Structure 1
Amino acid sequence: MTPSARCLLLLAAMTLLNGCSSVNYYSQLASGQLHLLKAREPVEHVIADPQRPAALRKQLRNAQAARTFASKQLLLPDNASYRLYADLKRPYVVWNVFATPEFSLKPITHCFPIAGCVAYRGYYSVGGARGEAALQRQQGRDVFVSGVEAYSTLGWFDDPILNTMLTWGDERLASVIFHELAHQRVYVKDDTEFNESFANFVEQEGTRQWRAFQGLPAPDPRALLQRDQFIGLILQTRQGLETLYAQSLPAERMRQRKAATFEQMRVQYRQMRDQQWAGNTRFDPWINSPMNNAKLLPFGLYDQWVPAFAALFKQSGNDWQTFYAAVETLATLPLPERKAALRQQLADG
């Protein structure tokens, strides 16, 4: 089946499952994906073309080395994904819109025939994302719009390296490839926390092994510690908000306590930055921008079970094949049992 036919089939299925009111949204999904597919070209052709920028060709050569490493050493899928290149002429491939009720950290979910239910809605234009965000705000919800450099079609299509993935240097590009290929290796419908935490672990451990393979020193432990401490602070704040929202308080009082919780997070961050990080300001832009429940969602979704997967990898003897088999077993469990097993991994780890 051609890429165009697949996109039309997806659009038809989505329309039947979601009703005519959703046709415009799913049309932009299908047309956006089709535009991406048409923009693809083999990486080897770009590398061999002397008319292309030398910096691009060098970066793609390095990316292909990482792509080979991903399959041979990390045992990630060996297919045409990330052996193609597409320049979309924009900074992000999609913009995701996250939304929650005003006094809840439970995301407003959206369900799709292939990916299942996820905690965001994606748009191929920033204007579309902003329009959706405005509609969500009109309903009194907390909203956060985030640009995304890459995503996985879970093997339905051969995903390309995108120009949006090239802005952070060779190592970041390699880590994104590891992350997205991990989604092709294991994916569970309707469990974003599991999927993203698993892919995040594969990304982090894969990047560590990639550095070692190249003979590079381990990442600066101070930077890793700062990242972990920052994420820990965000998760701690989420827990505090969950406790707050479980209380029966008048709306205005709840808003005051909510604002105070976010301000306490900022105070704790500045103390940590100034007293433990020697004033490193890497997270200042994020912490100082407007705050709400939806802005915290990616942390709970992408990081919650990473330590559990790290413990499982260690328990698997640091062997990728054994680890993936254990993850696949977890994926077959009903959701409550899967969460209980991950919590046990946290405790054991």
Structure 2
Amino acid sequence: MGPSPTACGRPLKGARPRARPSRIPGRRWVCRLALLAAVGLSGCAQVGYLGQAASGHLRLVGAAQAVETLVQDPALDEGLRERLLLSQRMREFASRELGLPDNASYRRYADLQRGAAVWNVVATPELSLQLKTWCYPVMGCAGYRGFFDRTEAEAFAAALRRDEGLEVLVYGVPAYSTLGWSWLFGGDPLLNTFIRYPEGELARMIFHELAHQVAYAADDTEFNESFATAVERLGVEAWLAAHGDAAAREQYRRGNERRERFRALALGYRARLQALYEGPQDEPAKRAAKAALFAQLRAEPDLRQGYEGWLANANNASLAIQAAYHRLTPEFEALFERQGRDWPAFYAEVRRLADLPKAERRQQLSKQRSTP
């Protein structure tokens, strides 16, 4: 998942997050001051939302403990100890080999006693795949709204359906990024929501979230998420080649093949729906054709096992957010190749693109696959 509106700030464009100092006096006041500033910029609903976000994030980071201390506890579950030690080897690899930020993130662990870090709400119109966006005083605009309480997320989704007639999806996410500014609170922590993932999937999660600390375009969810997805994919390949055993590589290969089939199918149906919505038919005809396309999607044999939950909730919103994570990934992978597979050069170019106006950014990125 990308940056959360709980972040108390984000890096300046083109700048890397600062390392966390050894002592930060009055660190809780930093978030409080940011929220006070937000009051002057937002209505009551926005202030209330920012309040739940800040308090939820503070509870999350307050539950975290240093991994190096936890693994010394003889009472710690051996399976968890093994996963924590593995995560730290991945964390070192991320900075040493992938050029990702070397800071306090993912060096602490928190058990949240729940299955998701936050619950995201995404929404689209009935006959559109355009994500509704929400804008925040510090991080800019994003195509999702995150809640630390599932009940609040469901209530917000119900209001969007009732008051705006939108198609809505609520989904739990295992992690989010604060764009590097959680050094104020000891860094973004490892969580129980993903620590027991298979080796390749654990590496994907850590590399993806660290990538959000490298570059961020405040107005472009698709750019941010596709970039982080490219880093995770390229990074896992490098990790498994260097450190994964045959079993880990095979497990990741099988899972990745299935994931790629799903992505291809979902993007294909998204393209067909996009053409329908932009076509000349009247709204009743579009609704009927849309229903037929979703019926075909739910009957796809490659999605009948393993994606039942996604299929049960499939709508415009689920297809729109899925595309945000993957539609531009091939362009970023091509850019990595054009930069000679050099991580610092790749990141420098991505930061340059993030600084551009959105239309120009997309135009230059689209050239990556078409230019030899």
TM-score, length-scaled by structure 1: 0.92
Q: Which residue in 2 is equivalent to 1:214?
A: 243
Given the alignment, which residue of 153, 174, 177 partners 1:152? 177
Give yes or no for contact 2:63–2:112 (8 Å, CA) kept in 1.
Answer: yes
Structure 1 position 11 matched with structure 2 position 52: no
**How big is the shift at 1:315?**
1.2
Q: Is the 8 A contact 1:7 1:34 kept in 2?
A: no
Cα distance in 2 for residues equivalent to 1:2 and 1:94: 26
CA deviations over 1:280-338 (Å, ceiling 9, x no partner) = 83334423x13210111222110011101111111111111221122122222221111
Alignment of 1:97-112 (within 5 A): 97-112=121-136
1:190 and 2:219 aligned:
yes
Q: Distance in 2 between matches of 1:225 and 1:46?
A: 35
Q: Does 1:344 align with 2:362?
A: no
CA spacing shift, 1:15–1:169, aligned 2, 3 Å: farther
CA distance in 1, matches of 2:124, 2:326: 18
1:58 aligns with 2:71: no
- Is the Cα–Cα contact under 8 Å of residues 10 and 30 in structure 1 kept in the other structure? no
2:190 match: 161
Q: Which residue of 2 aligns with 1:325?
A: 348
Worse overlay, 146-155 or 18-27: 18-27
Contact 1:82 1:161 in 2 (8 A): yes
Structure 1 counterpart SS, 2:193: helix
The separation in 2 between residues aligned to 1:85 and 1:290, in whole angstroms, is 32
Matches within 5 A, 1:167-316: 167-217=196-246, 218-219=249-250, 221=253, 223-267=255-299, 269-270=300-301, 273=302, 281-287=305-311, 289-316=312-339
1:132 Cα shift? 0.6
User: Equivalents in 1 of 2:257, 2:112: separation in Å?
Assistant: 35
What is the aligned residue count?
340
1:233-273: CA deviations, max 9, x gaps?
21121121122112354433322111112123334x32xx3
Mapped contact 1:3–1:34 kept (Cα < 8 A): no
Secondary structure at the residue paired with 1:48? Answer: coil
Unaligned runs of 5+ in 2: 1-24
Alignment root-mean-square deviation, CA: 1.9
Letter in 2 for 1:63: S
- State whether residues 123 and 317 of structure 2, in contact with CA within 8 Å, keep that contact through their aligned partners in structure 1: yes
Unaligned 5+ runs, structure 1: 274-278
Secondary structure, counterpart of 2:181 in structure 1: coil
Q: Structure 1 pair 80/235, CA: closer, same or farther in 2 (3 Å)?
A: same
1:176 CA drift (Å) = 0.8
1:70-90 Cα shifts (integer Å, max 9, x gaps): 000001000011011112111
Q: Distance in 1 between matches of 2:219 and 2:27?
A: 25
Structure 2 counterpart of 1:240, which letter?
A: R
In structure 2, relative to structure 1, the CA distance for the partners of 1:215 and 1:55 (3 Å cut) is closer
The correspondence for 2:95, drawn from 56, 60, 71, is: 71
Q: Which amino acid aligns with 1:150?
A: A
Shift of 1:223: 4.5
For 2:133 and 2:230, locate their aligned partners in 1 and report how far apart those are by CA, in whole Å. 24
Q: Tell me how far apart the structure 1 counterparts of residues 60 and 37 of structure 2 sit (CA, whole Å).
A: 20
**Do the aligned residues in 2 keep the contact of 1:15 with 1:26 (CA within 8 Å)?**
no
Does structure 2 retain, via aligned residues, the 8 Å contact 1:311–1:348?
no
Q: 2 CA distance for matches of 1:126 and 1:225?
A: 31
SS across alignment from 1:176 = helix
Alignment correspondent of 2:9: none
1:284–1:152 Cα change, 3 Å: same
Percent of matched pairs sharing the same residue: 44
Task: Supply the distance in 1 between the matched residues of 2:171 and 2:371 (Cα, whole angstroms).
Answer: 34
Aligned CA distance change for structure 1 residues 52 and 2 (closer, same or farther; 3 Å)? farther
**Alpha-carbon distance between aligned partners in 2 of 1:104 and 1:247, rounded to the nearest angstrom:** 11
Q: Say whether the 8 Å CA contact 1:3–1:37 is kept in structure 2.
A: no
- Structure 1 residue 24 and structure 2 residue 24: aligned? no
Q: Does the 8 Å CA contact 1:150/1:164 hold for their aligned counterparts?
A: yes
Per-residue deviation, 1:174: 2.0
Query: What is the aligned partner in structure 2 of residue 39 from structure 1?
Result: 63
In structure 2, the CA distance between the partners of 1:280 and 1:209, relative to structure 1 (3 Å rule), is farther
Residue 134, structure 1, aligned to residue 163, structure 2: no
Q: Residue type of the partner of 1:209?
A: A
Higher mean Cα deviation, 246-255 or 40-49? Answer: 246-255
- Choose between structure 1 and 2 for higher RCO, CA contacts under 8 A separated by at least 6 residues: 2
